[in-house]
Amino acid sequence: MKDLKTIRGMPDLYDLDIERISRVENICMEVFKSFNYQEFRTPIIENKSLFQRSAGETSDIVQKEVYEFDDRNGETLCLRPEGTAGLVRALITNGLLSEEIKKYFYLGPMFRYERPQKGRKRQFFQAGVELIGEGSSKSDVEIILVGKTILDKLGINFCLEINYLGGEESLNSYRTYLREFLQENKDSFEEKLYSRLQRNPVRAIDSKDENIQKVIKDAKDITNFLTDEEKQLFAETVDTLDQLKVDYKINTNLVRGMDYYTGTVFEYTVDSLGAQNAVIGGGRYDNLIKELGGKDLPAIGFALGIDRLSEIISLEGKTKDVFIGYAEAKSVSYAQDIGNKLRLNNGSLVIENYLGNANVSKQLKKANSLGFKFVIIVGQEEQNTKIFKVKNLTQDEETTLNEVELMEFFNG
């Protein structure tokens, strides 16, 4: 039976789960398109080296969370752990980069080999946007607004946290400072932890570990290492958010897991998801495109956890419209004919043509338990007279209509 199990952290999705997920997906797409972003689909499998070069060789994602395998000609491939690198690769591969501003979105499954817990699966679904070719605060603000619009439309209470990491030089001097600072406090950490922190010192500042927090709270924060120009850019972004009345919290401890982030970074968090409380995370990555071999273009984007959001939205009651039952078996085809006329007449209706063997009484029972609002029973009588009884299950009313009236009845 082992071969009939799903892979750990990769559940089958159906019923309510998938209803929730597709509601989030639909709203994401709707909002992306309303901001005039274009859809992009890249393969789920890429060369592993792409992620080593983008997310970073030392990042946890690449070090221990990538599903990798050799294909038959010996290349090391992997299941994508995130979406940005693949999209940037595709823009370069297809020669789509120019001075013009480009706006793309994507949506699909990502894979990371992690211990599953609340809000964390091994196959999970992300939607994301990337705005390429604009480095000013205007683009920061737009990307932040796209995220906010989605969360608003989903009716979710959230908190926006932002920070500014600075460009390569600022970030490197901050890293150097942190390494030295950690070295001075080396005795406070275990060997293993210490070497991990040395490898990625910025990680220490948003650690939940009490021990680390106690030490790191005396360290200087990133703002001490930003250039005047960088401070100015961040101030512009923050000012614009104020003007637009977008609430935010500056969190100088906010850092991101991928090495490619520079400049503005942000996270939308919620409080009902336990430890995995980030539902949207993103930021500026002004060096990534160049480093992967493309033009030297600034860019900013975010990724959104579709399944995380799907866990916390409320689902409005879905309505199914018409259940068409039959009185005698030979009337089924006529019932299907009526059903299709109704569908052609109004494509947004959900119409079930009953195909089972239950009698009329059972059919009514089924229609009710399946959540249909109207029932039409079609039989010899209806076929002869072309007059139908439309039963409203919620109000216990029956309306008698001819075919033309029937079409009108369901036309709005």
Binding residues among 242-261 for RNA as defined by CB under 7 A = 256-258
Instruction: Tell me if residue 268 falls in helix, strand or coil.
Output: strand
> Which string of x and - marks every residue 127-166 that binds RNA (by CB under 7 A)?
----------------------------------------
Smallest distance, RNA to C-beta of residue 187, A:
19
We find the least distance from the C-beta atom of residue 336 to RNA, in angstroms, to be: 16
Q: State which of positions 70-129 bind RNA (CB under 7 A).
A: 82, 112, 114-121, 124, 126
Contacts (CB under 7 A) with RNA, residues 326-345: 327-328
- DSSP codes of every residue in 330-347: GGHHHHHHHHHHHHHH-T
- C-alpha distance across the termini of the chain, in Å: 50
Among 209, 229, 242, 247, binds RNA (CB under 7 A): 209
Q: With respect to RNA, which residue has the nearer C-beta, 12 or 99?
A: 12
DSSP string, 288-308: HHHHTTS----EEEEEEEHHH
Provide the 3-class DSSP secondary structure of residue 248.
coil
Q: Is 355 in the site for RNA (CB under 7 A)?
A: no
Q: Are 122 and 9 in contact (CB under 8 A)?
A: yes
Name the segment binding RNA (CB under 7 A); options: 93-101, 233-241, 245-253, 373-381: 373-381
Scanning 91-99, 278-286, 340-348, 403-411 for contacts with RNA by CB under 7 A, the matching segment is: 278-286
- The residue type of 181 is F
**Cα gap 182→177, rounded to integer Å:** 9
Task: State in angstroms the smallest separation of the CB of 245 from RNA.
Answer: 23
Q: How far apart are CA 329 and CA 310, in angstroms?
A: 42
Given the complex with RNA, which of 348 and 361 has the nearer CB atom?
361
Calpha distance 222→180 (Å, rounded): 15
**Is 203 a residue that touches RNA (CB under 7 A)?**
yes
Estimate to the nearest angstrom the gap between the alpha carbon of 381 and the chain centroid: 52
CA atoms of 208 and 135, how far apart (whole Å): 32
Q: Give the nearest distance from C-beta 303 to RNA in angstroms.
A: 4
- DSSP E strand stretches across 306-369: 320-326, 351-353
Among 272, 368, 399, 411, binds RNA (CB under 7 A): 368
379 near RNA, judged by CB under 7 A: yes
Nearest residue (CB) to RNA, 329 versus 404: 329
Beta carbon nearer to RNA, 12 or 100: 12
State how far the Cα of 300 lies from the Cα of 272, in Å rounded to an integer. 27
